[in-house]
Amino acid sequence: MTQPALIEEFTERAEGLSASVAPAPDLAAAVEYAVKLTLEMGGTTLAAPGWEGDDLAAIEAACASAGLELFSSDLRAVADNIFCGFTQADWGIAETGTLVIDSRSEDLRLATMLAEVHVAVLLRGNLRPNQEALHDEMDALFKKGPAYLAFISGPSRTGDIEMVLTLGAHGPRQVHVMLLEDAS
């Protein structure tokens, strides 16, 4: 499958699961998106575990200028105060609109589970047609040390009351995927 075809299928599927997908030319654009979204929704905090160096600096700067409180580690201490989770995704699965996130880091898990909104950055080159195409990467992960791998497809949902689809049962109410150009 060509990359445009992968992007098209991923987008269609993810949107079908109530996620939003938007292109981002570079990380700065993705950060700006997350910050703006948080402000629009009345959030005051952003949790961004797993970022380092220049990337983290860019996030810090953006949060500071927007007046958002940034948490980049030790998220348990602020567990009930995470509005936006801003994380990377390791892979995307086009067939099902799924984000695949190596979540060994507890902070990463907490940011993607406890946030009201999850914004994930995914490199276009890491899109795969289906879950089977990730077999080898997954198998390798599961065969060395502890692992916590998450497939996330759209926001948390439930149909437990009369099959009426309701978003935000326990996890994020919204999931936004920023498709990043590979070069950046």
Query: Residue numbers of the site for other proteins (CB under 8 A)?
Result: 13, 17, 74, 76, 79-80, 95-98, 104-106, 109-110, 113-114, 131-132, 135, 138-139, 142-143, 145-164, 166, 168-172
Could you tell me which residues come within 8 angstroms of residue 11 by beta carbon, excluding any fewer than 6 positions away? 21, 97, 179
Left, alpha or beta for 14 (phi > 0: left; psi -120 to 50: alpha)? alpha
CB of 86 to other proteins, least distance (A): 18
Residue closer to other proteins (CB basis): 88 or 153: 153
Report the DSSP pairing between strands 91-93 and 45-47.
unpaired
CB of 176 to other proteins, least distance (A): 15
CB of 89 to other proteins, least distance (A): 14
Residue closer to other proteins (CB basis): 27 or 175: 175
Query: Minimal CA–CA distance to 102: which of 138, 66, 144, 71?
Result: 138
CB of 114 to other proteins, least distance (A): 8
- What is the residue type of 12? E
Which residues pair with residue 118 across a beta bridge?
85, 175
Residue closer to other proteins (CB basis): 7 or 63: 7
Classified as helix, coil or strand, 177 is strand
Residue closer to other proteins (CB basis): 8 or 26: 8
Residue closer to other proteins (CB basis): 31 or 89: 89
For tokens 């700067």, what's the residue?
61
CB of 182 to other proteins, least distance (A): 25
